[in-house]
Structure 1
Amino acid sequence: MSCGHAALTAMGMLDQNVSGASFLAEEQRLQSFSVSGNASGLWDASVTAGRERFRAVLGRLPR
């Protein structure tokens, strides 16, 4: 449960730092999906979300 809370907190903070981002809403959707009992497609959705998040964080780093 604390891992889920940490992920939600982190995505909320990322939303505040990336203009137009909706990472918090996506994380809430993925967490709801994971506890619904139907995990079909969850892995692929999580990988896609992770890649998007990684790109967003990389985009915030100075070059």
Structure 2
Amino acid sequence: MTQQRPLSDQQPPGTVAEIDERIAHDRLRYITAFFAGNQSEAQYWVYEIARLENLRNLVQRRDAS
């Protein structure tokens, strides 16, 4: 079963450091799901990590301007 974060209860991370922390945490979840043989959950974490990496890029651009 996929463990999704509740969207309405959490604020999106606002700094690059917060985003990097969530990426690291989600990578551990990906590894756990992958080695447990749960491919659908592992794929979910791949997409979630990509989403956070895109968010990090946006925040970095915002901070640079």
Bin the TM-score by the shorter chain: 0.5 to 0.7
Larger RCO, structures 1/2 (Cα 8 Å, 6+ apart): 2
Aligned to 2:16: 18
- Structure 1 length normalisation: TM-score? 0.53
What's 2:35 paired with? Answer: 35
Q: Percent identity among equivalent residues?
A: 15
Bigger share in helix = 1
- Whole-angstrom distance in 2 between the partners of 1:18 and 1:32: 24
CA RMSD of superposed structures (Å):
2.1
Q: Which structure: larger Rg?
A: 2
Deviations 1:2-40 (A, max 9, x none): xxxxxxxxxxxxxxx714232111111111111111212
Query: Is the CA contact (8 Å cut-off) linking 2:30 and 2:41 kept in structure 1?
Result: no
In structure 2, stretches of 5+ residues that fail to align are 1-14
- List gaps (5 residues or longer) in structure 1: 1-16
